Amino acid sequence: MIRRPVAAVGLLAAALLAASCRRGPRDLTVPSADGVTIAYHLEGSGDPALVFVHGWCCDSNFWNAQIPIFAKTHKIIAIDLAGHGRSGKERKEWTIRGFGADIAAVIREENLKNVILIGHSMGGAAIIEAAALCPGRILGLIGVDTFHDLGAALYTREEAESILAPYRYGFVQTTDGFVRGMFPPTAKPELVDEIAKRMSAASPEVGVSAMRAVLSYSPVETLKKVRLPIIAINADQYPVNLEGNRRIAASFEVKIMKRVGHFVMIENPAEFNRLLEESVSEILTRR
């Protein structure tokens, strides 16, 4: 019988434990391009890596119905954009390109090579900018109730400030009403209450500035450089300009979920997860 030295056995056990910890769920941070701390959750293994990006005044927990499912077969990263969740709030101006840089910082930190970016609402704009900052690493983009009209006319400065005024002077009440209006009448009241409460508790400074960024953002110029498969998984309550979108991004496709509102991944996670898995497979076939 071969006997290993006790010290060697101890080192082996420590190495195995360390490897196990590396594979397990982890909450990590990385500085963005401007030094603001970006928090993210990492779980699972396997290509392609799926990077989940939340929307306006949300956080990475909005993907809790997806993370454990897709972590069985993929490396999963769920990011808190700057100013949201556990990430830093020291930024002076909140822009879509800045949010894209937050995502890019995480991708580079984890040295991800084959990535599909998944963005909800405002996160859809952010993943377009992230793709431009990470050439050669991104396989495709999946928007979640976003990308309705990629070429939509921008709001004028006066129009944008008029929209923002109620948020500046009554952020909690205005946000609460805004969120409730994104659900269909059939939505579960307790779910509506929970999401409205969580989003209304966001930083008013961040919320107003980030909404201003959304109102003034156009993806058209960036998409001229980012020629990737794009799939949207959207609710049926907002129309999608399919023809117009394909003039800007020829590969654009959309999948429609019925009887849900803006938070499709929370309102009907089983159906959304099925469509997300389908979308990931379709993007891989276009490589």
pLDDT digits (tens, 9 = 90+) for 169-226: 999 999 999 999 999 999 999 999 999 999 999 999 999 999 999 999 999 999 999 9
Spatial CB neighbours of 250, under 8 Å, sequence gap ≥ 6: none
The model's pLDDT over 251-268, given as tens digits with 9 standing for 90+, comes to 999 999 999 999 999 999
Alpha helices in 201-263 (DSSP H): 204-215, 220-225, 242-248
Average pLDDT score, the chain: 92
Higher-pLDDT residue of 199 and 13 is 199
Determine the length of the chain.
287
Read off the tokens for 193.
């209450």
In this predicted structure, what is the pLDDT of residue 24?
Answer: 82
User: Does the pLDDT at position 28 exceed 80?
Assistant: yes
In this predicted structure, what is the pLDDT of residue 184?
Answer: 95
CA distance 119 to 108: 18
In this predicted structure, what is the pLDDT of residue 287?
Answer: 72
Strands in 44-114 per DSSP E: 49-53, 76-80
User: Does the pLDDT at position 53 exceed 60?
Assistant: yes
Which one, of 240, 229, 69, lies nearest residue 142 by Cα?
229
From residue 191, give the alpha-carbon distance in Å to each of 69, 107, 186, 237, 259: 21, 32, 11, 18, 15
Q: How confident is the model at residue 14 (pLDDT cuts 50, 70, 90)?
A: very low
In this predicted structure, what is the pLDDT of residue 23?
Answer: 62
Q: How confident is the model at residue 1 (pLDDT cuts 50, 70, 90)?
A: very low
Q: How confident is the model at residue 20 (pLDDT cuts 50, 70, 90)?
A: very low
Spatial CB neighbours of 214, under 8 Å, sequence gap ≥ 6: 56, 96, 122, 125
Q: How confident is the model at residue 15 (pLDDT cuts 50, 70, 90)?
A: very low
Looking at CATH, the fold of the domain delimited by 29-285 is given as: Rossmann fold (3.40.50)
